[in-house]
Structure 1
Amino acid sequence: MQLHLLYSVSKTVHEAGNSRRLWLPHHMSRHGMLEPWDPTRSRAGMIACLVPVDQFELYKRLKFEREVHLDPQRTWCPTADCQTVCHIAPSESGAPVPVECPTCHLSFCSSCKEPWHGQHLCQENQITPVSTEQGFLIGAETEAPIKQCPVCRIYIERNEGCAQMMCKNCKHTFCWYCLQNLDNDIFLRHYDRGPCRNKLGHSRASVMWNRTQVLWGSSLD
């Protein structure tokens, strides 16, 4: 993508016998000429002019993530380290259909994101034991207000907010409910399937943005 630099160009405007000077945004054309900047022509180009390159790349990634999330014919492969967008075939009855990832070839359900289960009903609401490094969490134990970081074992209290937790001591990121490691799950696919499905607590885009800002800030310390 071509990045544009904005220039302020002075223009004198005459109104009812009075004159005033305006500063209008312009950009450099391909031919080296200053042209008026039209923000409706390229919203992404405008954003690229106003933010650092790393934040603009994050904007494009979050924008694409939202587009896939809102598209009923696309979904992410539930394999955490795959990060492939898969196509969902239309279903006349609205029933779940099998989806095959073109990269890892996992066949999964379009609704619950579990391995394809044929004509059996999705069991996403079934309460099952969750294996963790500390044993098994069942039922109400996943709602405990105080837990230990799976890495450094420091105690962490959660009274509200999203289920993605970052330990302030060791910066380890994990799921509050099952203590699953989320350090490499940038798109938070963990909350697309299994017992923790739809339990993130906030919009995925806002959580990803906050996580990026926290990591960026910690890198400056």
Structure 2
Amino acid sequence: MKVNFLENCQQGIFGNKQRRFVFLRTKKRTEHCGSPCPICQQSDIGILDGQCAVCRYCSKLNRCVFQFCLACQRKWPQHASTTKSCMLPNCALRAALLSDTRISDPESSVRGCPYCRACPGCHALLTHNGEGCPNIVCPNCNQEFCFRCLRLECYDNEYDDYDDYDQDDPEPELCVIVDNTEILQHLGL
């Protein structure tokens, strides 16, 4: 019979000695993990299997094992197997939007932007090809938006055609690169 140490630790079946064994077991697999704990931001985490990780600091502080998904950075479902992939809804979408990967081409109009964006219209995952103006059109819903600031209308970049700009309108907001935090909140992720 296979014993699940983490479940037994959470239920209080094992004491400190057995819990220490679990943490030492996961300690070997922490060197190459760049994802900190989503709660405490500490990097003292252990990777169990696949996408499941344990934060040693939060586990010690709360006196119960805290598990989370390395990809989507959300709490691992309590009774889900740690040997399977994350079963939380929209894990891959959230992981892509949380990614630190940025467009680095110095010639690109979207240099410094996150590599992936969610369309403000249909939430399809998109990226910019790096050529031309920062505005893109979603192939899924045909929504046009600025890849830099995520606004539907953006006049404050050197690539836009100012012929459509009405001088009587209030001055447009500056086009600054935003991260994906707002769209994650909007999607409830």
Q: Over alpha carbons, which structure has the higher Rg?
A: 1
Alignment TM-score > 0.5, same fold: no
- TM-score normalized with structure 1 length: 0.21
- TM-score normalized with structure 2 length: 0.23
Q: Which is richer in strand?
A: 1
